[in-house]
Structure 1
Amino acid sequence: MSKTSEGTVSVWVKLFVGFHLLAIVAWSAPRPQDDVGRTFASAKGTAKLLVITDRLRETPLKYYLLCTGLWQYWDMFAPNPANTNDWAYANVTYSDGHWEHIPYPRIETLPIPQKFIMERYRKFFERVGEANEPIRRRFAERMALIAGRRGDAFPFIIEVIHHVDEIQPPPNDQVISRDEVLIRIKLTEEQYHQLESAPGA
């Protein structure tokens, strides 16, 4: 650590730490509740502070936070954290009638090096209910590629299942599980070949 004298931290280190504390707090603060409170003049009390932090999000500061991974949403610090554990799998029927269960990578089952690469995979399922049809279809197509060919047979029907474990609050601590069909698609051999040939497949 840089020091100007023994026991005294350099002012540059203080500015560096202070800048990051300010940036992270500004990004994590909730947004003003209504349109009236979004102007500094009309805001009152702590709402004025929220207006300031809301404006900071629109400055070049946001590009720094997004690129370095220091951003976080307010709900990360909310009093009621998420109580669900979500993941997906696919039931794949091949063109020859063979059926297979295809799991999607789950963070908790991956080795540590892969956890860093696939860290955002689970986050997708927290928003999957809001995903539109094209996004769901692309996900099903990705599952078809994960399944791969089986000899001359190709994935013909792909049914993506969204599994949810809902953890009940204390003192019950029970887990209620449910499976929801996220999307079900059919592919022709030509369509599957196009997926295989696409860049990054």
Structure 2
Amino acid sequence: MESTESSSQSTETYQSTEVSSVNRDIILVNRGIITVNRDIITVNIDIITINRDSITVSRGITSQQRKHKSSQRHLNKDSITVNKDSITVNRGIISQQRHHNSQPSHHKSTEKSLVNRDIISQKRHHIITVNKGITSQQRKHQQRHHKSTETALQLAESSQVNRDIISRQRHHDSQQRHHDSQQIHHDSQQRHHKSTETAPQSTETS
């Protein structure tokens, strides 16, 4: 009788040890699940940050486009003003030519013709110089706008790539932790199963 009681007590002690081991494994698995959930929350925060950055870049590009349109309108107004000035100059030249044709003196007409040619040459030179200056300003402005737009897009692309790499790495780490927790849970189930099979055998032997 005493041997039977001692064997039953040893069996109970062995089973309680196995149960405590299984409980520890369950706690470890739950901790692993909590860690995976934290990683998922971190990945979601990164996605929100990436979306905010893309919105900020889009707003910056839109602002640059508006500035470009505004400066383009200003340049167009300048070119319109230059065209109006050239029309006024041409009207003055035509008026001078009519006045010249009405003069009877050939000498006076020759002098006025030379004067008119000088005026025409000077006005044309002035108009050409002004037009070249406006064209040069437009080219410089377009080059600056193109470079700033390319820089903004490159920064956005590099930021997006870096965030994608970080997000993928964190997702991979969370999957690895989840796999490890599943492996621990599987091992604990196998130990529990073995302990359940061993307990009846020890009882029968005693």
**TM-score where L is the length of structure 1:** 0.16
Higher-RCO chain (CA-CA 8 Å, sequence separation at least 6): 2
More helix by share: 2
More strand by share: 1
Structure with larger Rg: 2
